[in-house]
Amino acid sequence: MTQWAGKYPDRKFFNHPLIMNPLRRILSKEDFASIGDYNLMVPIKRVGDYLLTHATMKYSMPNESLELAFSLKDNAVYIVFWKGDDNPTHRKFSTKNNQFNLPDEVLEELGLKEQ
């Protein structure tokens, strides 16, 4: 999976079994199906032992985006759906019983901790 660092998280990335299978397990059918709607993406970034990506829904009002983290150590997947502009709300899911015991720099990248 480390070869994804610096590349865009296209359909191949989200269809990779280490990403797709856990997401299918932890997300509702609607949330899983909506991942394809997030069409403005930035390259995957490596932060420590995690791959991180950000995607936004083009022209969404209010703004809708998602953040995804993948652990290179244990293949855990963490995803956060954001909605709103000034004071966004979020929904978060993980393969670790929705626990987000992640390093501070990863939490910052996911938008879950102030810098």
| Counted domains in the chain | 1
Q: Give the pair of three-digit tokens for residue 24.
A: 């299918």
pTM of the model: 0.93
* pLDDT for position 86: 84
39-62 residue pLDDT tens: 899 999 999 999 999 999 988 889
Query: Looking at the DSSP assignment, which residues form a beta bridge with residue 66?
Result: 55, 81
| Domain coverage including residue 31 | 2-109
Domain assignment of residue 81, yes or no: yes
Question: Within a domain: residue 24?
Answer: yes
Is 114 within a domain?
Answer: no
E strand spans, 1-115: 40-41, 45-47, 50-56, 64-71, 77-83, 89-94
Q: Mean pLDDT across the stretch 13-28? A: 96
- Contact indicator for 7, 53 with CB cutoff of 8 Å: no
